Amino acid sequence: MADHKNTIINKDGIKFFCKEFFSREALLKELGGYETIAKYYPVPRLINKDSCKEENRLIFEFDESIGSNRGLLLDVFNKTDHVIVFEKIFRMYLSVFDSTLEKTITTSADVFFMDRALKLKEKYSVIYASKDQVELTFNSLNVSINLTEIIDSIELYFIKKEGSELWSVISQADPSDLNIGIKPVIFDYLGGGMVPLMAEFANIIWEQVAQSAMLAPTYNPVMYTEHDMVYKNLPNITFQNGTITFVPPPDRLIFLSEYTRQVIMPVMDRIDYSDWYYDLKNHIAMRILGVFDVNNFSSEHKSLAFAYLGLFYNTWNPRTPSELIELIKKYSNE
C-alpha cells in the first residue's frame, strides 16, 4: 500500500509538485532522504520546508523539463539520440560515488531491502511451503531454482549482514527510469542516504534488464500515464512448454554496460571487495521478489522473473562486474 500520493497543485498560475503523506513516519523518511540527496545531487527546490511537518506534505518546485514523453531517463530509451544523456548521468553518479564511498553499518536502503526480505516467506507463502523445484529454459540455457531455498538464503543473508559494514555511497536507493531526469535531476527520496554499492548496482541491473523495460509499465501503469511511449517499445517475450525467449532492448543493454564501465568499475578499482557478488546477488534477488508480487504476474512474466532469479542467484558466479554484464549480454542474443 502506498504511503503517499502525488498531485500537481496550481497557485497563482504557478505549478508545484506535491507529495501528501499518510503518516508522519513516511514524511520524515522522505524529508531526511531529500535533505541528504540535495547536498550531492541536483534536485527540485523544496518550497515548504519550514511548514511541511505541520502540513504532512512536501511541496516542490515543478520541473518544467518534465512533460508528456519527455524529460525522464525513461523517455530517452524511446528515442534514438541517447548517448549524450547517458554520459551526463554517468558523470553525475561517478562524481558522487567517488566522493562518498566508505564502509558503513547503517544504510538508508533498508526500506527497500532488509525490511522486505523479512516478509518474503509471508508474501510467497504458497510457493515457499510447496518446496517445488522449478525447471525452465531461458534463451537455450537451462535454469533450476527452488524458491524455498532461495528465500531462506536471502533472509539469512540480510540477518547476518545487519550490523556489518558494507561498501556504500550516497544515493536515493531507487534509480528507476522514472526517478532520473535527463537534465540531470533526481526525484524520490524515501531511501536517500548511504546505500550499499551493490544495492545500487542491483537496482540498475534489474531496472534495465526487465523492470523498467517491461514489468513496471505492465503492473504499475498509472505511473506511465504521461510517458506512454514506453508501450510502443516493450520487448517481446514468449513462453511455451517451459521455454522462455526474451531479449532486453539493445539500448538498455548499452546503458547497463556503460554504467558498469564508467561508474561501477572505477569505484570498484579503488577498493578490496572480493565478496561483491555475494552482496550483489542477494540485492538483485530482493529487487526481483520484493518490488512486485511475482505471484500476480502472467505466466510468461513470472517465468521470466524466476529464470533471472535462478541465473543471478544459482548459476552465474562472475569474477568482476564487467564479466557479469557480458554474461547478461551473451544470453540476450539467442
Same domain, 41 and 146: no
Q: Where are the alpha helices (DSSP H) in 56-117?
A: 73-76, 83-100, 114-117
Same domain, 257 and 150: yes
Instruction: Please count the structural domains in the chain.
Output: 2
Confidence at residue 80, expressed as pLDDT on a 0 to 100 scale: 62
Same domain, 54 and 103: no
- DSSP assigned state of 315: I
Confidence at residue 308, expressed as pLDDT on a 0 to 100 scale: 98
Same domain, 41 and 80: no
Average pLDDT over residues 141-154: 96
The CATH number that applies at residue 21 is 3.30.200.20
Confidence at residue 49, expressed as pLDDT on a 0 to 100 scale: 86
The residues, any chain, with a CB within 8 Å of residue 81's CB and separated by 6 or more, are none
Least confident of 78-82, 246-250, 272-276, 281-285: 78-82
Same domain, 39 and 112: no
Average pLDDT over residues 6-22: 91
pTM of the entire predicted model? 0.95
Same domain, 138 and 16: no
User: Of 62, 96, 113, at which residue does a domain stop?
Assistant: 62
Same domain, 5 and 131: no
Q: Could you read off the pLDDT of 19-51 as tens digits, one per residue?
A: 999 999 999 999 999 999 999 999 999 999 888
Quote the domain boundaries for residue 311: 68-330
How is 262-299 classified by DSSP, letter by letter? Answer: IIIHHHHTTS--TTHHHHHHHHHHHHHHHSS-GGGS-H
User: Of 42, 62, 82, at which residue does a domain stop?
Assistant: 62
Confidence at residue 142, expressed as pLDDT on a 0 to 100 scale: 94
Same domain, 1 and 77: no
Same domain, 273 and 131: yes
pLDDT at 13 over 90: no
Q: Could you read off the pLDDT of 81-116 as tens digits, one per residue?
A: 677 889 999 999 999 999 999 999 978 999 999 999
Virtual CA dihedral for 187, 110, 205, 82, nearest 10 degrees? 10
Confidence at residue 247, expressed as pLDDT on a 0 to 100 scale: 95
Q: Could you read off the pLDDT of 180-238 as tens digits, one per residue?
A: 999 999 999 999 999 999 999 999 999 999 999 999 999 999 999 999 999 998 999 99
Residue with cell 508474501: 123
The CATH number that applies at residue 183 is 3.90.1200
Same domain, 170 and 304: yes
Confidence at residue 1, expressed as pLDDT on a 0 to 100 scale: 55
pLDDT at 333 over 60: yes
**Main-chain dihedrals φ then ψ at residue 273, nearest 5 degrees:** -140, 70
User: Of 16, 36, 62, at which residue does a domain stop?
Assistant: 62
The residues, any chain, with a CB within 8 Å of residue 184's CB and separated by 6 or more, are 42, 88, 89, 92
Instruction: Return d(Cα 293, Cα 29) in angstroms, integer.
Output: 24
Same domain, 56 and 109: no
Same domain, 245 and 268: yes
Confidence at residue 81, expressed as pLDDT on a 0 to 100 scale: 63
Instruction: Return d(Cα 205, Cα 192) in angstroms, integer.
Output: 19
Q: Could you read off the pLDDT of 259-279 as tens digits, one per residue?
A: 999 999 999 999 999 999 999
Average pLDDT over residues 299-316: 97
Confidence at residue 84, expressed as pLDDT on a 0 to 100 scale: 82
